């Protein structure tokens, strides 16, 4: 689901332009600056992020379907310590509301019968850091037996330009050996 759609669902009134820019680049050195929205009012769910799309897809196939959600870590890019202070005094206060919304979204997808949920988070490569891992453990998403959670690791992609370059070889062994994830073939 595109960032624009995520912002619309989480609350268009909750953001303004003027966030920090993320530089995406390609192999030729061309750069695209992606301007992020900034949270300026409290988050409020307008509707579920993926429920409509999941229900639509589920009604049209008998094959397993996957719902993709923005990760809690990715939501922090919408927080600016100065511009967001009127709504949230700290990034943790903002993240607490974002995590609550995402947790409710997971619960709703599970209620609808979704058994494959991908948390879209290129920055999750930060999970290589022990302190970051412990922070995520403390905030946990919950326990949902029979639901496969996928973790999407990528270099970031925006109009065929990326944030980082290189393969996953330097981190793959450590990430997959230390995780409880198992590879699922034939999905993307």
pLDDT attached to residue 74? 81
Give domain limits for the chain: 3-178
pLDDT string in tens for the chain (188-residue length): 334 344 433 433 344 445 556 667 788 888 887 777 889 999 988 888 889 999 999 999 999 888 988 888 788 888 888 999 999 999 999 999 999 999 999 999 999 999 999 888 766 665 566 666 666 666 665 567 787 766 677 766 777 777 777 777 777 777 777 666 555 555 44
DSSP strands (E only) in the chain? 15-16, 21-25, 31-35, 38-39, 67-70, 116-120, 148-152
At 12 the pLDDT is 33
| Among candidate residues 45, 51, 181, 70, the one with its CA nearest the CA of residue 113 | 51
Structure tokens at 69: 């959600």
Interatomic CA distance for residues 92 and 179, integer angstroms: 25
Helices (H), 67-181: 72-75, 91-111, 130-139, 169-178
Strand order in the sheet with 116-120: 67-70, 116-120, 148-152
* Alpha carbon distances (Å) from 54 to 47, 57, 128: 13, 5, 31
Q: What is the pLDDT of residue 58?
A: 93
Residues 39, 41: Cα–Cα separation, whole Å: 6
What is the token pair recorded at 45? 């769910």
Instruction: Report residue 8 as tokens.
Output: 């619309």
Residue 5 bridge partners (DSSP): none
Determine whether domain 3-178 maps to CATH 3.20.20.210: yes
Is the Cα dihedral 103, 107, 112, 115 positive or negative?
A: positive
pLDDT the model gives residue 144: 72
pLDDT score for 172: 75
For the whole model, what pTM was predicted? Answer: 0.60
């Amino acid at each position: 689901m595109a960032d624009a759609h995520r912002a619309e669902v989480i609350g268009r009134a909750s953001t303004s332009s003027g966030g920090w820019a993320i530089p995406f680049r390609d192999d030729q050195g061309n750069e695209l600056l992606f301007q992020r929205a900034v949270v300026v009012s409290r988050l409020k769910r307008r509707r579920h992020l993926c429920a409509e799309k999941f229900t639509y897809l589920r009604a049209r196939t008998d094959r397993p379907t996957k719902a993709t959600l923005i990760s809690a870590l990715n939501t922090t890019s919408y927080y600016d310590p100065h511009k967001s202070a009127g709504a949230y005094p700290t990034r943790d206060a903002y993240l607490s509301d974002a995590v609550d919304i995402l947790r409710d979204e997971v619960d709703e997808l599970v209620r609808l019968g979704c058994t494959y949920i991908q948390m879209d988070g290129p920055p999750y490569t930060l999970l290589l850091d022990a302190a970051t891992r412990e922070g995520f453990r403390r905030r946990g998403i919950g326990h949902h037996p029979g639901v496969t959670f996928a973790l999407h690791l990528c270099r970031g992609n925006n109009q065929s330009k990326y944030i980082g370059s290189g393969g996953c070889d330097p981190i793959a062994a450590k990430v997959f050996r230390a995780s409880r994830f198992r590879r699922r073939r034939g999905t993307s």
